[in-house]
Every structure is written in structure tokens, then in C-alpha cells.
Amino acid sequence: MKTQLIVLLTSLFLLVTNVSADIVVTFSDGSTSGTEFFANTGETVTMFVTVEETLPNTEMTDNFLIGFGLKADYAAVSGTSATVINSSVDAAFDTPTDVSFTDSQLNLAGIDFDFASNGLPQGPTILLGKFDLLLSSPGSTQFEFGDYDSALDDFVTSSAQKLDGIIFANSRTFDFTITAVPEPSAISLLTLFGMAALARRKRSA
């Protein structure tokens, strides 16, 4: 079963100053929200990375996002780390400048050069890309999203508005954890085994 996980990079674009940004993570079925999530061991989780502005901010709605850059360090904080098996930049950014992953880092970066052949990256919510995560064994994996390149303004709109200083002010990062837990059927079997063992102990006593 493929579970979808949506990552929202929520940015407030009221003014260049006095704004803030947060990453909000939810399962697409709405069953979980916050910064810690759970999925069954053995599942593949699709993680969508989206930049979202909230009203009354309209910078991305009035204009469009020319380019972006985002990276995340990730590692197991207990048990086994999730394994990234696939990644892609959204087609609206027709020139991906980085779409990669290693055992410890995710990268997403792209530019929209042709301004519309694959659809304009425009609106209050813009999909940046996605990662497929395999949760092969029980464990918790922490993700720390941050600035792709602190020397560059990767998030730039068609009005030349630079957004990196807003989103990643003071080296800000956005963290969340996903935990692989045994499937319900496996938990039931463990309970049955436990009850059987307890019954055997009682009989021996």
C-alpha cells in the first residue's frame, strides 16, 4: 500500500521584513498532523514538498516562482532509517538543477526557464517535487529541511522578489520525524504469541 505524505513549506509574504515560515507535515488522508508521523513497516511513503503562502499574501499568486532550492539532512534517531528510492522535481520547473539523494541528504532545486510550456509555477500553493521513502524496518527518521545554498537566493519570483531571506531567516530549518511501526496484523500475531507463552507458563506452574 502506498501512503502519501504532504510536506508544506508555509511562507508568509506580507513584506520582505517581519515575516516567518514553517514546514507543516500531514498525511494526505488527514489522519495525522504536526511534526511526527507513523506508517506501517514495509510501506512506501510518497512525500510531496510544496511551498505555500497564506492570505493576505499574494506574491506567488500575482507572479510566479522562477526558481527554488531546498535540501534536507536525514538520519535514523532510532532503529532503521527510511530509504529514499526515488525523487523528482515538478514538471513546471522545466530545468531541474538538482534532484538527488544520498544515505543522509535530499536535494531538490529547479528553474522555470520557458515560463509556461509545462505550466507556470504560480498560485498560493506550488509543488516543488517529491520523494518516495521505503520504510523497510521499524525505526524513526528525522528530516531537517533547510536552505539549499546560503550564498544564493534560490527562491525567486518573476517580480524579482527574493524569498530565501524570508523562509530561512537566521539559518532556520524545519524538522519532522516519520516512524515505521509494525503492521496491525503483525501486532496481533505478537499479542497472540504473548498470550500463548503466558498460557504455557501458567500450565507449567
Query: What is the DSSP code string of 76-121?
Result: EEEE---EEEEEEE-TTSSEEEEEEE-SSEEEEEEE--SSSTT---
Q: Distance (Å, rounded) from C-alpha 200 to C-alpha 27? A: 42
Q: Are 158 and 68 in contact (CB under 8 A)?
A: no
Q: How many domains does the chain have?
A: 1
**55-64, 94-103, 127-136: which has the minimum mean pLDDT?**
55-64
Closest to 3 (Cα-Cα) out of 104, 135, 127, 91: 135
User: pLDDT at position 7, please?
Assistant: 61
Digit-coded pLDDT (tens) for 6-46: 666 554 333 333 333 444 444 544 445 567 888 889 988 88
Report the pLDDT value the prediction gives residue 57, as an integer from 0 to 100: 77
- Residue 23: count other Cβ atoms within 10 Å of its Cβ: 25
38: CATH: 2.60.40.680
Strands 105-111 and 156-157: unpaired
Domain that holds residue 87: 2-204
Give pLDDT, residue 2. 65
Q: Given this model, what pLDDT does residue 83 score?
A: 94
Element (H, E) at 134: strand 125-134
Cell matching residue 137: 524496518
| Model confidence pLDDT, tens digit, residues 71-112 | 999 999 999 999 999 999 999 999 999 999 999 999 999 999
Residue 143's CB is within 10 A of a number of other CB atoms, namely 23
Measured CA to CA, the distance from residue 184 to residue 77 in angstroms comes to: 23
Cα separations (Å) of 77 from 25, 95, 132, 134, 202?
Answer: 18, 34, 19, 16, 38
Q: How far apart are CA 127 and CA 152, in angstroms?
A: 21
- d(CA 203, CA 205) in angstroms, rounded, equals 5
d(CA 118, CA 201): 67
Rounded alpha-carbon distances, angstroms, from residue 183 to 25, 132, 188: 22, 19, 9
Task: Determine the distance from the C-alpha atom of residue 25 to the mean position of all C-alpha atoms in its chain, rounded to a whole number.
Answer: 7
